[in-house]
Amino acid sequence: MDLQTLALHAGYEKDSQGTMAVPIYQTTAYEFRDVEHAANLFALKELGNIYTRLNNPTTDVFEKRFAALEGGETALATSSGMSAIFYAFANAAEAGDNIVCARQLYGGSLTQTAHTLKRFGIEARFFDVHNPRELEQLIDEKTKVIFFESLTNPSIDVADIEALTKIANAHNILTVVDNTVATPVLCRPFEWGADITVHSASKYTTGQGLAIGGILVERKGLDEKLKNNPRYAHFNEPDASYHGLVYTETGLPAFTLRARLSLLRDLGAVVSPFNSWLFIQGMEHLALRMKEHSRNALILAEFLESHPKVKKVNYPGLVTNANFKNAQKYFTDGLCSGLLSFEVASLEEAEKIVNATELYSLVVNIGDSKSIITHPASTTHQQLSHEELIACGVPEGLIRISCGLESAKDLIDDIAQALDE
Ligand SMILES: *Cc1c(COP(=O)(O)O)cnc(C)c1O
């Protein structure tokens, strides 16, 4: 079935009431039929609901539907994108191990990998997403994850997914791809060799800036890679915290099963059923919205490129952009999502433009139906020196836009008046 059809139907079987909309199962726990039923559920002899920290029928629909859109086997929803990313790492690596990450990462992922994981004894090593050779040189026998974003936020680069997963697979290492900005509508990392995808559902999935959530998706057939793989002994040996369960011997997708039974159980970053329901609503029109976000962003990027006050425009949909070739290869119909940035002469000039826009909201978020404008040098990247700003690709005159669903004409008119003021 096509993605748009799956987005409306996958993972939901109507209840006895024939309820068209997926019900919100706002509950903490579930009654067992008897003691034997309860024991069977805990022993995984029977699958079913136990407690909403572990599973919930509304969240179950969100997980199944998202996995279907991504072309994956199964999924695990979490309370935020950051917790989905943390669970992906914590499920693969432990103290003494390392993960190799692209340098071009979302700010929260940079601090999580470089600082927080370090305090847990997991070392993060960084490579330039455009330099697969650098990645290969950083790998050793303790490397448990290769991590990068398909479409990077905020630098707006497009990863050569196939080239990077080829290196990971040659070493039998798991590739985790953050597919938040591209979404399953525009990019399908599993078709290019990735093993796990992670998403912030807070962005395009909700689509209207309504809720924080995250999701981790496991590709089909991943068990084959984990089984007897010496890098991942913990998937092949008895888990003392789950009465000796060997995850790869259960017949269930092992990566997600362990993330749920061990990490979600013990760390508890669970999504609320109401937020899962909001994400289900968002998914129904995700494909329609991504086309429109992408169309608006391209029109706006072309306008900005022609404006005399604009030094440079970063949007992978522009033929002049260094990422154009990768975007054409990896993104459905070459559509590049709603994120673009452009550079003007100075910090003062950028601040003036951001303040002069009326339609764009000054907000640190992306993927909302309402357009958003940010000036990284005075907000998210404020603590960096002039030299550091240049090094991480955020010059002082850089303005970032998350293109919403307003009419392209109104978006251009407003940015034009701000530029000409
Ligand atoms: C926002 C974002 C995250 C973090 O997601 P939260 O839901 O805010 O925790 C991770 N990766 C990318 C690419 C993001 O844009």
What is the pLDDT at residue 132? 97
Whose Cα sits closest to atom 4 in ligand 1?
Answer: 81
> How many A from CA of 113 to the centre of ligand 1?
14
What is the pLDDT at residue 371? 98
Q: 129 with 213, same domain?
A: yes
Residue 147 clears pLDDT 90, i.e. is over it:
yes
Per-residue pLDDT band for 382 (boundaries 50, 70, 90) equals confident
At 303, phi and psi to the nearest 5? -65, -45
How many domains in the chain?
A: 2
Per-residue pLDDT band for 154 (boundaries 50, 70, 90) equals confident
Whose Cα sits closest to atom 6 in ligand 1?
Answer: 81
What is the pLDDT at residue 45? 92
Q: Is 108 close to ligand 1, i.e. is its CB under 6 Å away?
A: yes
Q: 272 with 309, same domain?
A: no
Per-residue pLDDT band for 318 (boundaries 50, 70, 90) equals very high
Q: Domain boundary at 262, 281, 300, which?
A: 281
Residue 383 clears pLDDT 80, i.e. is over it:
no
Q: 17 with 126, same domain?
A: yes
Average pLDDT over residues 220-234: 98
Complete edge-to-edge strand list for the sheet that includes strand 174-178: 74-78, 214-218, 196-200, 174-178, 143-149, 98-102, 123-127
Q: Is 82 close to ligand 1, i.e. is its CB under 6 Å away?
A: yes
* Cα 271-273-277 angle, rounded to 5 deg: 105
Question: Candidates 85, 106, 156, 158: which one to mutate for ligand 1, based on the most atoms within 8 Å of Cβ?
Answer: 106
Q: Looking up tokens 């020196």, which residue turns up?
A: 385
What is the pLDDT at residue 378? 87
Q: 197 with 346, same domain?
A: no
Question: Candidates 109, 200, 270, 402: which one to mutate for ligand 1, based on the most atoms within 8 Å of Cβ?
Answer: 200
Q: 268 with 295, same domain?
A: no
Q: 217 with 324, same domain?
A: no
Per-residue pLDDT band for 217 (boundaries 50, 70, 90) equals very high
- From first CA to last CA, the distance across the chain in angstroms is 50
Q: 245 with 296, same domain?
A: no
Q: Domain boundary at 249, 281, 313, which?
A: 281
Q: 229 with 332, same domain?
A: no
Complete edge-to-edge strand list for the sheet that includes strand 339-343: 312-314, 339-343, 398-402, 372-374, 361-362
Average pLDDT over residues 240-257: 96
CATH number of the domain encompassing residue 329? 3.90.1150.10
Mean pLDDT in the chain? 96
Q: 95 with 127, same domain?
A: yes
Please tell me the distance from the alpha carbon of residue 3 to that of residue 206, in angstroms, as a whole number.
17
Residue 391 clears pLDDT 80, i.e. is over it:
no
Q: List, as own/partner pairs, every contact residues 239-246 make where C-beta atoms lie below 8 angstroms and the sequence separation is at least 24, other chains included.
A: 241/266, 243/43, 245/44
What is the pLDDT at residue 379? 85
What is the pLDDT at residue 390? 78
Q: 302 with 338, same domain?
A: yes
CA-wise closest residue to 128 among 408, 396, 415, 393: 393
Q: 301 with 249, same domain?
A: no
Whose Cα sits closest to atom 2 in ligand 1?
Answer: 200
Average pLDDT over residues 85-106: 97
In tens, the pLDDT along 250-283 reads 999 999 999 999 999 999 999 999 999 999 999 9
Q: 267 with 391, same domain?
A: no
Residue 384 clears pLDDT 80, i.e. is over it:
no
Q: Is 181 close to ligand 1, i.e. is its CB under 6 Å away?
A: yes
Domain that holds residue 109: 3-281
CATH number of the domain encompassing residue 218? 3.40.640.10
Q: Is 368 close to ligand 1, i.e. is its CB under 6 Å away?
A: no
Q: Domain boundary at 281, 301, 326, which?
A: 281
What residues pair up with 177 in beta bridges, in sequence order? 148, 197
> How many A from CA of 81 to the centre of ligand 1?
5
> How many A from CA of 49 to the centre of ligand 1?
29
Per-residue pLDDT band for 385 (boundaries 50, 70, 90) equals confident
Dump the DSSP string for 268-290: --PPPHHHHHHHHHHHHTHHHHH
Average pLDDT over residues 377-402: 84
What is the pLDDT at residue 152? 95
In tens, the pLDDT along 117-130 reads 999 999 999 999 99
Average pLDDT over residues 58-85: 98
Atom of ligand 1 nearest to the CA of 153: 13
Q: Is 72 close to ligand 1, i.e. is its CB under 6 Å away?
A: no
Least confident of 14-23, 160-169, 376-385: 376-385
